[in-house]
Structure 1
């Protein structure tokens, strides 16, 4: 059980926002310049990017340190963490880290938490036999602590006894769940401020996810979060040559065919000429996504983002 209030700031829910991922393959020392250049897009009056998202995959970079670099380098962008694996994070320590960022950069952080890839968690001895319980209890504990409330969680996996943050943020940042399967989507609707959907999933998957999330929100009734933002990641590749598009995106299609367990034809990409890529992005908004986060594939990632934004304008 938990005893805590749950006020958070989630102004993006219901909006049409655009974000860009700093891909895990890029060097951490390039993040600051990437963030500065991303924030400068649209400074001349053109369309602007709303979010920069960082990731935390095993053997790549830490998400909290990456988010800190991005926030410190910019003044307007919202920075999203997508995602911290619950098995790797003590809930109280994660809340402390997030509270520090939310205090120093108010209104500019959104924190994603998820199960973590099972194979990666096993590699570091963090695999959990109670994945759903661990995620729910972690999100509930972190959200409670970020409000500044004295928080107690006596769960199957998370145990916090009367902890209160000394320096909570004035307004807690949204804590969102990065999940895929139906039971996890329902959990997200019940306890999180939003849901992050992984790459490769198109409008039909968005609509189905919203239906499942709604069941969780209905079950939570008045005790659940007040708003729920749907954030959808999607690969972006802008090129006028269909052959080059196919070559560049083939590894992505192969990876997500296996990871999502779907046929290759069902792996969703915002790829092709700029108008076609922009149309794919719009289709995610029209299906119900609040925020679409672009993960550019190939060379000149920000050039591809600019091309897609020009069409979206």
Structure 2
């Protein structure tokens, strides 16, 4: 059921690269809003920009796109405060917000003194608490990592934003199926990896008796260029980075790079594998140009 729903959606999102200065966010967002993409994604990594401020800025600067946060590290955010921030955005911009929450990079969490004793418990309990608060519930949760005693929002949103989990490993994918409205699959993964992720997600959904739709977002680096040598040069550091991070051979790191036609084939393969949304992580000197060429090839 989830797989069929995901195949019918076929959204395109575009990430604002964390290395770009914040003052470029508004012009970037306005160009993407006019380009035919469905979503703009902002990130939250330690030392870069804050995602709530970035999302608020993009929502105010655009009119059409959904604005997505990918991802908030659960250890950095108290669930009640996070729900308050998200509820404000969701009330001001109903139906235009999606929020990703993840474990956070453990080394970064240790740097700021918030590394979780049980990352799985913290993430699941954070998602449960935030979803409950946004739904207008009075939340009482005495969990392993999250403790909330009778808190509710005075101004819950009329349109509750979906909460998705940015996760990698099988147990976390099952957690996402149990607790979240969707799952984010990181860069470098192949379409067959998306199919495998669905199996873990569906196991979690079945255990929880989940009936709601589940969105699956597959991220891919994007670079559009007709010159294969230049494409290889631009993509090499990203392939090297994710081969090491994922523990796979460089040949098994998937990217959407090359001609517009080859990029469109990569996107179609993700959709056919069950991705609801393909999120472009554009790289290179002119990321907006790559996005526009890719969207044109996809008929946007």
The alignment's TM-score, normalised by the length of structure 2, stands at: 0.96
Q: CA deviation at 1:225?
A: 5.7
Contact in 2 for aligned 1:192/1:225 (Cα 8 Å): no
Unaligned residue ranges in structure 1 (runs of 5+): 1-10, 42-47
Partner of 1:28: 22
Structure 1 residues 188-199: aligned runs within 5 Å = 188-199=176-187
Distance 1:305 1:70, change over 3 A: same
Asked if structure 2 preserves the Cα contact closer than 8 Å seen for 1:180 and 1:197, the reply is yes
Kept in 1, the 8 Å contact 2:7–2:271? The answer is no
Whether the 8 Å CA contact 1:17–1:290 is kept in 2: the answer is yes
| Structure-1 residue corresponding to 2:59 | 71
1:89 aligns with 2:83: no
CA deviation after TM superposition for structure 1 residue 108, in Å = 0.3
Q: CA deviation at 1:126?
A: 1.2
Shift of 1:12: 7.8
Alpha-carbon distance in structure 2 between the residues aligned to 1:266 and 1:90: 37
Deviation at 1:128, TM superposition (A): 1.1
Q: Give the ranges of 4+ consecutive aligned residues of structure 1 lying more than 2 Å apart after TM superposition.
A: 11-14
Distance of 1:89 and 1:242 partners within structure 2: 43
CA distance in 1, matches of 2:265, 2:165: 27
Counterparts of 1:167 and 1:28 in 2: how far apart (Å)?
Answer: 29
SS at match of 1:75: coil
Is 2:75–2:115's contact at 8 Å kept on the other side of the alignment? Answer: yes
CA deviation string 1:28-62 (max 9, x = no partner):
11111111111112xxxxxx100000000111000
The DSSP-based 3-state class of the residue aligned with 1:98 is helix
Task: Report if the CA contact (8 A) 2:13-2:277 is conserved.
Answer: yes
CA distance in structure 1 between the partners assigned to 2:34 and 2:151 by the alignment: 41
- 1:271 aligns with 257
Gaps of 5+ in 2: none
For residue 235 of structure 2, give the secondary structure of its aligned residue in structure 1. Answer: helix
**CA–CA distance in structure 2, aligned partners of residues 67 and 12 of structure 1:** 25
| Count of residue pairs the alignment pairs up | 295
Shift of 1:17: 0.3
SS at match of 2:9: coil
- Provide the C-alpha distance between the structure 2 equivalents of 1:27 and 1:108, rounded to a whole number of angstroms: 24
Quote the Cα distance in structure 2 between the aligned partners of 1:13 and 1:196: 16
The alignment partner of 1:307 has SS state of helix
Please say if 1:53 is aligned against 2:41: yes
- Determine the C-alpha separation between the residues in 2 that align with 1:207 and 1:82: 21
Deviation per residue, 1:152-199 (Å, 9 max, x gap):
111001000111100000021000000000000000000000001111
CA-atom RMSD in angstroms: 1.2
Give 1:113's match in structure 2, choosing from 101, 115, 118.
101
Instruction: Give 1:13 deviation, angstroms.
Output: 8.3
Give the aligned partner of residue 158 of structure 1.
Answer: 146
Select which of 153, 175, 198 maps to 1:210.
198
